[in-house]
Structure 1
Amino acid sequence: MSDPILFIPGLLCTEALFAKQIVAFADRPIMVADHRQHDSIEEIARGILDQAPDRFSLIALSMGGYVAMEIMREAPERVSKLALLDTNSRPDGQDQADRRRFLIEMTRKRGFTKVPHLLYPGFVHESREEDEDMKAIVVEMAHDTGPEAFIRQQTALIDRIDSRPRLGEIACPTMVLVGDGDRLTPVEISREIHEHIPGSELVVIEGCGHLSPLEAPDAVTKTLRDFLNRA
């Protein structure tokens, strides 16, 4: 039997992010990680490892990718294949950290209702900014995550380390995937990860933004299937 698949969603995302991929890989055991309970990347990674199978293929997007890189530092022997989607190996810059703090304060003082709507345009390709069906999915995932978990996630992201120095230690087969219109983690950010991980491959999905499994489910699923089935 093929190894189980462990999915780690991004900020404010739930298993709905990977809905099409979960169906496509129904012949394998699947786990979707809970990344809502802790306020540091290290604690999130350890909590996931405590619940995960002994060995698994790891597919992670954005914030999930930050957690995946921590898993690769803590337990690389447990990961058979790694797919890093629309993510970043760098720490937050000052502007990014300040925006996260602003959103945390906004959530605490004025509530959470508007936050998903503010974030939505950055999550998708520019052609989908007015896609109300896509927006409804993103907003629903955010509200399923909730304000308290959002604050914990943002705190974890502010405090995360620079993963670049240890990317060269990743030895399992690795794919780095990104949408060509990703405005949060642009193609050059994924190319940097690819260049740091020996033997990795870089895949760019056309007409796609940051939430690639949701925006381009067929292309992403086919790419992941080819990667996971490769000897």
Structure 2
Amino acid sequence: MNMNKKELPSLLLLPGLLCNERLWQNQVNNLVDICQPFVADFSQDDSIEAMARRVLDRAPEQFFLAGLSMGGYVAFEIMRQAPERVTRLALFDTMARLDEPERAATRKGLLRLAEEGRFIGVTPRLLPNLIHKDKLNTPVADEVMKMAAELGKEVFLKQQTAILNRSDSIPTLSKIKQPTIIVVGEDDKLTPPEESVNMAKAIPNAQLHRIPKCGHLPPLEYPQLTTELLRDWILQEA
């Protein structure tokens, strides 16, 4: 990581399942005046713990931390491994609890299909689970499918395995003392708003933002609004 602008705080952006740096591209492009943004690479590890360690190994001593979905699971793990290094926390469309049995079974079924060579990435049929209906058949939909295709089967296997074996983060929520914002799409089908409401109640002084007509991916669906929420969070007084 390039740390030439030492006067600006570092912002670590953690992507979700089958997402890469393009998930956060608008934020990276438009927050450079107030921070140094870096996007983590989650293509190499098959556990949330290892993903968190890799981020910490490459991160500056202290940083702002924002994670979406699986990136939120990694953010919780970073808070377990090195809470003193995180100065602020932003959680997008994620949840602290473990999967219920039905959802875990679905993940295992998808893993089996991928292992059998039937990895399909994100298809148009799956998009309504990820983005709001107003964003279907738009460049947002194309971007979601492109990211999944680029990362591919092997990354999918690693990431789903990591998600299935993650730790329960509910017991750690009350210990989070950093200024925290929680953002969720009002129409998120994967991590519904209730999950964010529960986290906001458990994390001391957390601020909750619900985005209307938005699914699971606010940084792509509403890039300017997401950037402004992060800008306000970065600039707010601790």
Residue in 2 that maps onto 1:191: 197
Residue in 2 that maps onto 1:166: 172
Residue in 2 that maps onto 1:143: 149
The one-letter code of the counterpart of 1:125 is: H
Q: Is the 8 A contact 1:179 1:212 kept in 2?
A: yes
Residue in 1 that maps onto 2:13: 7
Is 1:105 the counterpart of 2:112 in the alignment?
yes
Q: Is the 8 A contact 2:121 2:149 kept in 1?
A: no
How high is the TM-score relative to the length of structure 2?
0.93
Is 1:46 the counterpart of 2:53 in the alignment?
yes
Q: Which residues of 2 match residues 1-231 of structure 1 at below 5 A?
A: 1-27=7-33, 28-112=35-119, 114-117=120-123, 118-128=125-135, 130-231=136-237
How many Å apart are 1:132 and its aligned residue?
4.0
1:35-78 CA-to-partner distances (Å, cap 9, x unmatched) read: 12111111111111111111111111000000000101111111
Structural RMSD (CA): 1.2
| Identical-residue share of aligned pairs (%) | 43
- Greater helix share, 1 or 2? 1
CA distance in 2, matches of 1:82, 1:89: 14
The one-letter code of the counterpart of 1:102 is: G
How many Å apart are 1:11 and its aligned residue?
0.4
The one-letter code of the counterpart of 2:45 is: H
Q: Is the 8 A contact 2:181 2:209 kept in 1?
A: yes
CA distance in 1, matches of 2:73, 2:121: 22
Q: Is the 8 A contact 1:59 1:85 kept in 2?
A: yes
CA distance in 2, matches of 1:119, 1:54: 39
1:70-98 CA-to-partner distances (Å, cap 9, x unmatched) read: 10111111111110000010111111111
CA distance in 1, matches of 2:121, 2:128: 11
Q: Is the 8 A contact 1:103 1:115 kept in 2?
A: no
How many Å apart are 1:120 and its aligned residue?
2.2
- Stretches of structure 1 that go unaligned for 5 or more consecutive residues are none
How many Å apart are 1:110 and its aligned residue?
3.4
Partner SS state of residue 124, structure 1: coil
User: Which range is displaced more, 24-33 or 14-23?
Assistant: 24-33
User: Which range is displaced more, 119-128 or 188-197?
Assistant: 119-128
Partner SS state of residue 122, structure 2: helix
